[in-house]
Amino acid sequence: MKKVLMITTGGTIAGLNSGFGIRPSLSGEKLRPDIEGIETTVLDLFSIDSTDIMPIHWRRMYKAINENLPLYDGIVILHGTDTMAYTGAVLAFTTETDKPVILTGAILPPYAEDSDAPTNIENAVRIAAEGEYKGVYLAFGGRVISGGDIVKVSSTEKDAFRSYSGFVPRKKYKLPERTGQFPAVVRLTPFTYGLDIMAIAQDRAGIVIETYGAGGIPDNEITLVLSELSKTMPVIITTPCFGGTDLGRYEVGRRALDVGGVDADKRSTECAAVEIWLSMNQ
């Protein structure tokens, strides 16, 4: 008999309509699947919308995973979809295991007509029990995605996630015992001023600049600001485009490299931000 621990943290997958919108309300026992050959145990860790996820919640998940992994063949974490990419990256960079740690969630709450919650839960539990995927992964909508490579592409479609580039974190970090310094994340637009970036970067551990296409920065005061910031903190250049950045392709990308910008390469914006937070708080 395979043994799987199902950790609940809230999200739509545990949601009910409160009269003011969907809110996490269901316990794990209401969601636990009955699968022949798999004994599924429930641990209700907390119950929040994933919009409310903070580092304190990551520490609680990390602690629960590491305390319980020796007792089970795998672990499933039920989680909201909105910050799934951040949680996946945090756990992928910090969890060292040869057992499956499988995240999942849902677009529709369990009691909605044609909900995807029961199917996603059952698939995640089966994957955790089988042991083929070792480490942190997301099982959602029939896809299995590396924990450090998660991108949410829809808030309405059941096939809501994609793999960003195929990136799998190799380097491991200790999860900070205290919050420490946070990175800043700025999305570059034609309306962005250098002063905007300087203001948000104050007292931060580093900054992620989500740019366009293959990555690059404009030839204006933003270049001067990033040149100054790179002297005291990591300046990571990312893109929302699948596949990642290539700062050597265009002149605007080389400009970013010349002022000290770091090519995020295969890392998504979420993954790059998480890695700055972890690396600067060791």
User: Quick check: is 250 catalytic?
Assistant: yes
Quote the pLDDT of residue 237.
98
- Which of 2, 44, 97, 152 is the catalytic position? 152
Alpha helices in 32-116 (DSSP H): 55-68, 84-94
User: Quick check: is 193 catalytic?
Assistant: no
Query: Rounded distance, CA 12 to CA 58, Å?
Result: 18
| Residue-wise pLDDT tens digits, 78-114 | 999 999 999 999 999 999 999 999 999 999 999 999 9
Quote the pLDDT of residue 77.
98
**Which domains are delineated in the chain?**
2-163 (3.40.50.1170), 184-279 (3.40.50.40)
Q: pTM of the prediction?
A: 0.97
Quote the pLDDT of residue 163.
98
Question: Which residues of the chain fall below pLDDT 50?
Answer: none
Quote the pLDDT of residue 172.
97
Query: Rounded distance, CA 46 to CA 193, Å?
Result: 40
Under a CB-based contact definition with an 8 Å cutoff, are residues 239 and 215 in contact?
Answer: yes
Residue from 120, 95, 85, 105 nearest 10 by CA: 105
User: Quick check: is 12 catalytic?
Assistant: yes
